[in-house]
Structure 1
């Protein structure tokens, strides 16, 4: 069965940088689960999985526009240190979580003062060409409820 829109897909991945170094993997963990064709997955990965069959393993190298986005050099902000989440003491180069109107964002601390910090709100992997080793573990047709809600339910999916 080929992967198409309105299917719940489970896959494993290993994310590599331009030099082939592993940045992330879910190896040894539960597979990633998403509803295909409903903007629940980064576009490059979803496009790469489309048309594949379960059990298929492959590698795809993706441009920043289809993964974590192009770097925006103007995406530097000053925020109150008290809004940074994840550590008690902050230093340049550390990653923090910051609540925004669009939800939580991961930011990179550039400079820290006593009360204010300068942060880069670009995703840490923005602007990079990345390779994904992908393995489609399983796929099934989505239920009517999953289609109505726009996301996968159950283990690895959304729980109501």
Structure 2
């Protein structure tokens, strides 16, 4: 079965950046499963897997625009510590959900200077060229419910 008509695809992958540093991997764990065609993974990887079959192995380098986008300096701002009521300890690297003009967003604390806190709304991998070494482990038909919901159902899914 080819990877068409919105199947559930399971892959093992290793993700590296342009410098060759390993950023993530599913090796030694469960494969990543996703509903193909539903936008559940970055566009460049989904496109590269469109004609794949079980057992295929490929290496795909994806430019930022087809991954997590280019870095947007407008997503970086300095706010007052008062914006974090009830949080006693704030450290660089912490992430918070915030309201943005385009809806809920995750921001990362990148700098602390007195009561000034710099937050970054860019995805941590924005602006990065990414390389995926992928092996297609399984392809199955999606259930009607998975198609309706736009994602796979399995471990960790808490609705029908």
Task: State the TM-score bracket (shorter-chain normalisation).
Answer: 0.7 to 0.9
> Is residue 108–residue 121 contact of structure 1 (8 Å, CA) maintained in 2?
no
Cross-structure match for 1:62: 62
**Cα drift, residue 79 of structure 1:** 3.5
Number of matched pairs: 154
1:37 is displaced (CA, Å) by 0.5
Which residue number corresponds to residue 114 of structure 2?
A: 113
Partner of 2:158: 159
Per-residue deviation, residues 4-39 of structure 1 (Å, max 9, x unmatched): 132011111111111211111121111111111011
CA distance in 1, matches of 2:109, 2:54: 37
| Range 116-125 or range 15-24, more displaced | 116-125
**Equivalent residue for 2:98?**
100
Unaligned runs of 5+ in 1: none
User: Could you list the runs of 4 or more consecutive aligned residues of structure 1 that deviate by over 6 angstroms after TM superposition?
Assistant: none
Is the Cα contact below 8 Å between 2:9 and 2:33 reproduced in 1?
yes
| Offset at residue 142 of structure 1 (A) | 0.7
After TM superposition, list the pairs within 5 Å mapping 1:19-58 onto structure 2.
19-58=19-58
CA RMSD of aligned residues (A): 2.3
Change over 3 Å in CA distance of 1:24–1:122 after alignment to 2:
same
The answer for the alignment partner of 1:139 in structure 2 is 139
Q: CA deviation at 1:77?
A: 1.7
Provide the C-alpha distance between the structure 2 equivalents of 1:122 and 1:108, rounded to a whole number of angstroms.
11
